[in-house]
Structure 1
């Protein structure tokens, strides 16, 4: 057996063991300059005591200065210095290993931040297509607009280019041998060949002063000659690109040296820079600077033109985040080298992949991740056995790659395809499923968050709440049509440039053959727009290397084309057939390989656009407009569907247990629009729809005087006002006492800031790109007036009383969804701070500092009390739930249960349980099973009436039972929270049952583990 084959066998065994040891739970930490590696290290012991198995970190590669999220990485090779040093990072990793905890890192393979300090992007701006990094970014160097050929559009100006230029806001500068363009905080490179344009004028006069034999003058003259011989910025031949990259840096060093050595030349350079900068009030004085900029590899423009003309792919519509071409092996290596270095040392143990739908070929990307991880492990073992200098590695590596690709990559059932723990931020719309071919463990859990919350929505209230909403706003919006219209809006505004580029490419494809050349550019663009607007999911995953298309992808495309034809009866159907055949790789026989490649590339580029259009039109627009029940308007949610049927919840859990048992289970993230506890409280409105409708109308009457009368209509609009009232009810702080002083002021500020963001995201009366200052101001004043105790004391008190009425049921909902998360198949994820009640709204509200010292102290106290008398502790927690300790206790007991039953929660079966009795519909139960281990989970729902009745949950659930399989009759269980022993009993019909009343009397949710007693 060869060295490679022996090594393959050994690594295979190591990685199979690793693949089985997936995380049991994660805790998400947001790292930034306000919370560094050192501060994260300090909370590791607390997280370990809490029961967390894996630390889950936000991105911490070097990001733009001041970044609070890390998704704007500017250097893949460096740690973010604001988060800490390499020593700080190593100390954190060591602390995690000491606690036996894993370390999952958020990775951003789709884009980079380009506003400042990105050396790769800076080089592209300096050298255009001739940059050694030109292929790193997804730039269209031959766009529709001819003036942009071989240039990057930079929409960074606050006004039109000519106005900004002639105002003197653009200035040429010199530093260390290079010339730059300064625009406020922006620093842009001057094209190197333009250095001669700066320095040539006045050279003869300088020669006269210094003399032709002056060595510094001769050196400057030689530099000018070298500049003129530089390969052009449009040169793409590899040797010329390398030559330009080398020689331009030599020129800069030589120029810096001669300037430093000669005061006369330094004075000359300064004078030339000043001469190039014009004088405001004299437009012609800016001609030279204008000519210099015209020869650069970028075109400066007003920020408003970005939506229509920008020619680099962005993250959604954010100009400061440029997409990278990670499908290129060199780009992949550059973006992941540091990450795999940490993986090889065990510093990190898993990855969370951000926005995979933005990738050109996600399926291939995930396979490359797993293959690269395999090779990293193999390389480490090879060095251990043979030494780093052994020249045989390249041959061994080639053999390992061949075996991995033939034996692992093509085998969907191979555990080695998932040796590295990887979860992906994949949003699933409608009936969309995760592609089985992805070499990942699952998603980050958006769908679970919506499904688990949805079971607490009372379905019987749908018609009433719909009618109440329609009466309040005076309209009857259709959600499906709203999303369609808002996707059209996004394609017409924020992402028009992406649509233009696709239409231009499709037009070029149509010109390839006489049968399709008569399709006009406009008709092709309209066809594309209609297709994307109607497309029901985020994207498809067609590629050129797998022989068969995914059947669901085919179904989505065929369905959308059929809908488009129906809606556009006057359009030539052959255009839609033309588009369909390209997207489904149905190429006519007469096409050559070049033409087929062009069609495939178009199909794969289109897939990168449907997702952002869906996200912007749905989550970032429609979800701020369709306010029937805003707790359903969550990332990955479907607010047109009123909650979750229990049968669907069980079905999703079974599917996850069978196919994605290590997928994350989340209820709050840094991206959620409302925290898990806000949504849980708003869900209670479905239990008293008539009372809610009366309250909303009453509050509107109380606040009518604060609504401004603008020419465009009332401010706030009735729809925004309805959103405001639900926001107040959902986010009002816990507790029964009236808010006052700083607490009231802080809540007022948070709600005002939230409403300011919400109305702009809705893009109805105002927006980020076209703000209506009058409307923005009127809404802010409305919020402030509503919070003014002197003006609106009656309103505030009525809101508080109503909030207090529904609050206990909201707390039960929160505990219920937490318990379901703890017991369901998957990896339990906790967002920072959410172990106590968290009533945060959308970012940045949900990124406020977390008091870990308080949480650690509370956990220690709970541990002491539980050790003395767990049942008594539970009684005290139920009597005073407002401080959040009851949620912390539920979480830590559930996480520790997972650690006691690792095999069950990693690979156990899932079995739904039936309920019997008067409140059978108002509870949900299931069992987890693995070998001799058993865990039972039961949660009550629709509890408002029960809590308001005499005797609370215990009285309400009298006569309600969980029906258990016959085999459970001889088992003893332990209540995870109270510690008491529980034995199933025989029901009236002879079956094995579990009475709910005594269990809910002791704690509001039920979690039982099989006892050995």
Structure 2
């Protein structure tokens, strides 16, 4: 099975292995998912809890059980007619440490390593100290201090006969060209003889083979004689005294790496990182040999039928995502005849859609999570909540303005090296032509910085060095913003950079930067696309490099193929390579900048309503209408009907049910504003270093740094507590309250550091952080149970029923909208999780298995606080998907009209496949309609509100899969209508079908 009906995402690690997943398989099957969707299975850094720091693409992680356990799981799945989708990380690998053989080989042999072109290393750094070297920014303090402390030590691995430098867990091999001198320091006759076999070595491949043979002899000596003689060499490089320390320093200076303080990475790192994480190095998967090495294992597992599909992590980090998807698709097709399943992790900006020319099933579902999240919010709450946030925080900026400030800061403080790489690539182009040689590096750098700061999407996807019309939609917005921000003296450089970044095809002419018409650009784009197709055809056969470099071709390459991949060596081809390189570096700058500035900074600074501060969402896009939601669903049904539909992921900022509850605040904005002010006043005595009047009581705003946690952090803390407080948690249960407080404290520390306002990851203000934690623990302390804790729980109880309505609506929409619903582990019950690692906590599957039965969801509503009703809705609708797979995955999508006095509080649509229909109806914005603590609108409150059935839809004997009731339409005004007072009498949601359960 390769086309999933529904997936369930599992986070694997050493405490939850393939065999642990296998033990829960009966439950997963009973729940109704068709595929397990696993976090990365390749070998990661030891102890990794997520698997995204791969160190060996070729081996299934032994910590997760190894390949034998993976195959046991796959066999058991297939025996149940289920399948397996795995997460793959082609963009980056874990480096540092001592476990990545590719990286260690680079450190040992430098640019002549067999793996030197597997990573995006700039071997031609403008810094002479880094030319031909790899920066290793892993030292905890400055190099000189760490050297003097003795924490940088020369060691010897007897099993490998290898000298290496060790710093903590980090290992850096010494190049064998230095072994002769090292061995001679031992003053040992046998080692002197062995030293001769290392003399005269270079780093060339032939000499690497010589070195391997010499090391074999050294290994034999050590096995026979021990390491006593070698120990003398190590002592001669000890850091304990100035003489030996200087010798160690000189040895290190000759290596192909440079050990450095971790803070240097921001400015000097000369290899592409994953975002700003120096423990993850970018992989050049665009090269054919690297692609094959990265995918060797998963392709073999796919060919063997072990796995059925792939989720591609961080697609925007790749040099050419389109080409990558095409190559991957072709490789999968060549292995198994039936269609393969590929989804990509892609963050789409407001108004952006996944490109049609990517041969994938769609995204991993952040776009749907945004669509359904916005639907839950009442647009009437946007303005008053913004006013409240301004009053409390003293800031009236939009999220876009906050994000722009964050971009400026992140670019300067965290991605300076990446900006430098892109600017230097463009400056090299300038130096190629007399007409542009006077554009200085500084002017190009200023221009690129402004373009990146104002870029409205993660990146563009040019073909063969040229932007498409779709690319220009976004690039032109950045271009205009940069033009307004830059001084007039920089505008000529801006126009030239625009040309080099794909506005026109490069040529060998004057290079004056004149911008062609859009029609001319279209002609250039067509030519470029044809050239790209020829290149990609060669790549599919395994002989071309999409990076524009000349790869090693297989013997017997035909002349035609050789021409396709290696066009004549003209100035145009050279310029095209340079332009493609610059575009790649620019795109690999804008993507991490967008992520770090928005997701990892601005979303922690802007606090109007945290339920809209989510990965893939834009808080300025506060709410969407039912019409907007229908339009998004219809578009997905036409373009990517098998895309994943997610509402919770391993990367979400807060759980799906926490967001659903917080969305209720948009319906009661004035009440929430008053509550915030009351709580701020109530908890003022618990603040640290409070020297300012309370903003809640006086309207004055405390200045930054005057008290902890400060108005912004305090306001977002209250939202977090409201969102994550379990509905069954009693304030008298001190142990559970303390457990929750510790979880929130972990979130708070991350939120404060990510916001980068009064503390951050690079230079944390530990005193401020401690004060913030003390404030949190104080307001949740047992002695506050009759004060703030009572107020908090009373408010949560007030909005929790409306939050549960939102949860059930969100759940039904995910399971019935066009696409493939994805369940994140454990979220079939309440998901009040916070940002990772909280959202990756262990799951009690036994509890969930015990709760699952065949009862109708409506029968469980009375006890909704245990979330069994949510689980039952999931199971019932997955059963419907199993009964009629095409109906809800690919069936036609029909928005339905809702009439009557409460029409604004309902949403409805129909799905049709052949003669099979499903009608989906849900309650929205229910806070004003609910009475009591049951998440159900009293039937009489619906009055005349009704859903109009489309022509052709059966009107009688419709089975409600959620209540087991039989519903019949009423004829009214020549239409068949379903009155909500009838249809929604048992649950706030209904799914009616002319197909009854088996």
Q: TM above 0.5, one fold?
A: yes
Give the whole-Å Cα distance in 2 for the aligned partners of 1:483 and 1:45: 46
Does 2:201 match 1:255?
no
Would you say 1:180 and 2:164 are equivalent positions? yes
Distance 1:455 1:572 in 2: 43
1:289 to 240, 248, 254: 248
3-state secondary structure, aligned to 1:709 = coil
Preserved CA contact (<8 Å) 2:379 2:623: yes
Match of 1:646 in 2: 626
Q: Structure 1 residues 588 and 316 mapped into 2: Cα distance closer, same or farther (>3 Å)?
A: closer
- Alpha-carbon separation, structure 2, partners of 1:46 and 1:202: 64
**Are 2:337 and 1:355 equivalent residues in the alignment?**
no
Give the direction of change, closer, same or farther, for the CA distance of 1:768–1:970 in structure 2 (3 Å limit). closer
Report the counterpart of residue 24 of structure 1 in structure 2. 5
Number of the residue aligned with 2:562: none
Q: Deviations over 1:847-878 (max 9, x none)?
A: 1111111111111xx22xx3xxx4xx624x12
2:396, 2:732 → 1: CA distance? 36
1:811 and 2:811 matched: no
**Given the alignment, which residue of 863, 866, 889 partners 1:906?**
889
Question: CA shift at 1:922, angstroms?
Answer: 0.8
- Kept after mapping to 1: 8 A contact 2:425/2:581: no
> Residues 920 and 202 of structure 1: is their aligned pair in 2 closer, same or farther, counting only changes over 3 Å?
closer
Cα distance, 1:784–1:516 mapped onto 2, change above 3 Å: same
1:275 alignment partner in structure 2: 236
SS of the residue 1:584 aligns to: helix
Tell me which of 595, 601, 604 is aligned to 2:575.
595
- Is the Cα contact below 8 Å between 1:675 and 1:841 reproduced in 2? yes
1:955 CA displacement? 2.3
Q: 1 CA distance for matches of 2:200 and 2:496?
A: 48
- Does structure 1 residue 957 correspond to structure 2 residue 942? yes
Matched-pair contact (CA < 8 Å) for 2:237–2:247: yes
Question: Which residue is equivalent to 1:468?
Answer: 388
Structure 1 match to 2:126: 144
1:224 — aligned with what? 195
Question: Does 2:408 align with 1:488?
Answer: yes
Task: Determine if contact 1:355/1:425 at 8 Å carries over to the other structure.
Answer: yes
User: Which residue of structure 2 aligns with residue 657 of structure 1?
Assistant: 637
Structure 1 residue 551 and structure 2 residue 514: aligned? Answer: no
1:743 aligns with 2:758: no
Farther-moved stretch of structure 1 (952-961 vs 136-145): 952-961
Q: Is the Cα–Cα contact under 8 Å of residues 911 and 917 in structure 2 kept in the other structure?
A: yes
Matched, 1:848 2:841: yes
SS in 1 for 2:822: strand
- The answer to whether the 8 A contact 1:136-1:324 is kept is yes
Name the structure with the higher helix share.
1
Is the 1:144–1:500 Cα contact (8 Å) retained in structure 2?
no
Residue 433 of structure 2 corresponds to 513
Q: Distance in 1 between matches of 2:505 and 2:36?
A: 48
1:792 CA displacement: 6.0
* In 2: Cα distance, 1:149 partner to 1:955 partner: 77
Equivalent pair of 2:506/2:575 in contact (CA under 8 Å): no
1:842 positional shift: 0.4
- Partners of 1:785 and 1:792 within 8 A in 2: no
Q: Which deviates the most, 825-834 or 585-594?
A: 585-594
| Partner Cα distance (2:734, 2:707) in 1 | 30
Aligned ranges 1:510-909 → 2 under 5 Å: 510-544=430-464, 549-590=467-508, 592=571, 593-709=573-689, 712-735=705-728, 737-791=730-784, 793-859=786-852, 862-863=853-854, 866=855, 870=856, 874-875=858-859, 877-909=860-892
Match of 1:940? Answer: 923
Could you tell me whether the CA contact under 8 Å between 2:456 and 2:474 is conserved in 1? yes
* Range moving further from structure 2, 943-952 or 828-837: 943-952
Contact 2:949 2:955 (8 Å CA) reproduced: no
| Corresponding position of 1:124 | 106
1:158 correspondence with 2:151 = no
Alignment-derived partner of residue 534 in structure 2 = none
The more displaced of 766-775 and 948-957 is: 948-957
Unmatched 5+ stretches in structure 2: 510-570, 691-703
Deviations 1:874-898 (Å, cap 9, x if unpaired)? 24x1211000100000000011111
State the alpha-carbon separation in 1 of the partners of residues 50 and 300 from structure 2: 23
Cα 1:543–1:61 change in 2 (3 A) is same
Q: Distance in 2 between matches of 1:442 and 1:791?
A: 49
Question: Whole-Å Cα distance in 1 between the matches of residues 327 and 471 of structure 2?
Answer: 22
Which residue of 952, 959, 979 corresponds with 1:967?
952
Cα offset for 1:544? Answer: 1.3
Deviation at 1:569, TM superposition (A): 4.0
Q: Say whether the 8 Å CA contact 2:151–2:167 is kept in structure 1.
A: yes
CA distance in 1 between partners of 2:193 and 2:331 (Å) = 47
Q: In the superposition, relative to structure 1, how do residues 61 and 954 fare at CA in structure 2: closer, same or farther (>3 Å)?
A: same
> Paired residue for 2:962, among 977, 984, 987?
977
Return the offset for 1:585.
5.0
Match of 2:44 among 18, 39, 63: 63
1:322 aligns with 2:273: no
SS of residue paired to 1:947: coil
Aligned counterparts of 1:927 and 1:680: Cα–Cα separation in 2: 24
Output one character per residue of 1:395-444: Cα deviation in whole Å (capped at 9) or x when no partner: xxxxxxxxxxxxxxxxxxxxx8xx21000000001211111110100000
Q: CA deviation at 1:271?
A: 1.2
Q: Secondary structure at the match of 2:146?
A: helix
Change (3 A) 1:524 1:1012: closer
Deviates more, 1:95-104 or 1:176-185: 176-185
Q: 1:931 to 1:344 in 2, by over 3 A?
A: same
User: Structure 1 residue 267: deviation in Å?
Assistant: 3.0
Show CA shifts across 1:162-211 (max 9, x none).
111011111111122211112122222111111122222353xx44xxxx
For 1:766 and 1:736, locate their aligned partners in 2 and report how far apart those are by CA, in whole Å: 32
Q: Which residue of structure 1 lines up, in the alignment, with residue 910 of structure 2?
A: 927
1:379-458 equivalent positions in 2, closer than 5 A: 419-458=339-378
Question: In 2 relative to 1, CA 230–519 (structure 1 residues): closer, same or farther, beyond 3 Å?
Answer: same
Deviations 1:806-843 (A, max 9, x none): 00000010000110111100000000000011110001
1:306 partnered with 2:265: yes
1:634-677 per-residue CA deviation (whole Å, 9 max, x = no partner) reads 00001012122221111110000000000000000000000100
The answer to whether the Cα contact below 8 Å between 1:756 and 1:776 also exists between their aligned partners in 2 is yes
CA distances 1:434-476 after superposition (whole Å, capped 9, x unpaired): 1111010000000110110211111111111111111111221
Q: CA deviation at 1:567?
A: 2.2
Other-structure match for 1:89: 70
Distance 1:112 1:488 in 2: 28
Using structure 2 for the length normalisation, give the TM-score: 0.90
Q: 2:695 corresponds to which residue?
A: none
Q: Matches of 1:706 and 1:146 in 2, distance apart?
A: 55
What secondary structure does 2:25 align onto?
A: helix
Return the alpha-carbon distance in structure 2 between the equivalents of residues 22 and 900 of structure 1. Answer: 15
Q: CA deviation at 1:223?
A: 2.9
Cα distance in 1 for partners of 2:787, 2:222 equals 74
Alpha-carbon distance in 2 for matches of 1:728, 1:750: 11
Q: Distance in 2 between matches of 1:940 and 1:791?
A: 36
The number of equivalent residue pairs is: 917
The residue number in structure 2 matching 1:916 is: 899
Whether the 8 Å CA contact 2:731–2:785 is kept in 1: the answer is no
Unaligned runs of 5+ in 1: 1-17, 208-216, 233-239, 379-415
In 1: Cα distance, 2:65 partner to 2:222 partner: 37
CA contact (8 A) 1:786 1:792 kept: no
CA shift in 2, pair 1:1012/1:119, >3 Å: closer
Residue 981 of structure 1 deviates from its aligned partner by 1.4
SS of residue in 2 equivalent to 1:945: coil
Quick one: distance in 2 between partners of 1:26 and 1:739?
39
- Conserved? CA contact 2:379–2:622, under 8 Å: yes
Deviation of 1:477 (Å): 2.0
